[in-house]
Structure 1
């Protein structure tokens, strides 16, 4: 670049960024068309006469979001700012608000939205703004609990509450996720009600779900969904990293067959991957392996989690020196 042109770029950049002159004022001062000033400012950036640096240290969650998004090539990462000693209910409330806000931003008329069960999804339902009106359809992606799950965490409750808030339509599932015998499942899959709902699973435009882990199998919510201890113990003996809608996968994200695989009513992982938005919402150190495996396998392209969980994920991916 000729020295005279470089000096002009530096002069214009100084007037604009250091002296805070407008492009019109620079135009009058230097006798150059305003459109030319705009073009030269852009060229100054391209030639690195002007460089910008975002100070991510002012908001650590923004840096974490950027790192995770770039590492996994995700569509979006949303990290809520929480403290280590913060009450779980407060964390869930913050995550629910983040999930509700994102859902409200992306939802359009005619969307078909699938949901799973659990405390995170219940928090999303609680935080939704009821002033939004969308002609969408909300459906469950898994059947009901085998144990005594708190009703607000039930997939039908979540689907109905979200559809009501959005002034949308909903379909509910009138059978449990895990049947006692394979023959019972075989009979259900032939029913008109089952096939009405299942027909929508490959057509989902948005899927929002929690992420499970056998590391939390001692929790009351886990027991409430899966029921008896023998069933849980069998799962713990498998090479399982986590699950989505009770579809279990290993640390590479590959499906794992379990003792309930042929007795369960739920969406397949391949069907899940067909949704445009696959929103995984989960937090806790016990779920880090499950989250990493789910993202790596492509089951998730939007992640909503807490700052502590995000830091644990990055530490596992990129150990400190």
Structure 2
């Protein structure tokens, strides 16, 4: 990861769920100094600005229980095209959210650049719901399902191909809030999951070693990191829409990012669900930027 050319892409999306404020996440992360932090490490950073997000329709669709389906589809398509182009230019895509529905567009943009893309899903939630299993209809709980080819056809078929990733190439880390339908899907598809029980029992070093070994054995040709700030304990990241107590610690998260940097496996990344309205003095955005520092090679000495 030395001297990368990083394209920073903001996605001010709050339509994948029903709590306002997460659309300000990219601005909060920029305000916390992400560009300066990465440039100090030695990387070249181009801020590509934000993907345009349309306003939601005032009247909900009667054809589906998915919230803001058209707007999320349009934004995901635009993001996918942007990522496709920056990768054609040899850039490392670093995406700033926005709610986790943006991962639909991210993985659609990456999916045709790799034959066997691996994904590390660092999150309290599995995000494997579909319209049939979702308790809420919030699309930010569906991006991983969509990306393995399950869900509404408008989302699944963005950029004209599906699936974007293989379920056997996914590793979920930090799960502690998983819906019944998601549990069934995890078992059915054989998705690799390290819950908080596993992290407590094995320690983060062993979990990350196993996760990286698993992806290497799958012979992936790239690895995308999708990091939801609610994967970390809300003690450290209060500014998230769906906090779940008992999460990964601040120091464990830095260790995970440091190990990913040392592995040289990560080829793209996104940091999502920073909500400044729910935050304390931009604390969650500061954590996001600090973790990016570790992911991109920041050293203490």
Structure with higher RCO (Cα < 8 A, 6+ apart) = 2
TM-score (structure 2 length as normaliser): 0.42
Bigger share in helix:
1
TM-score (structure 1 length as normaliser): 0.40
Bigger share in strand:
2
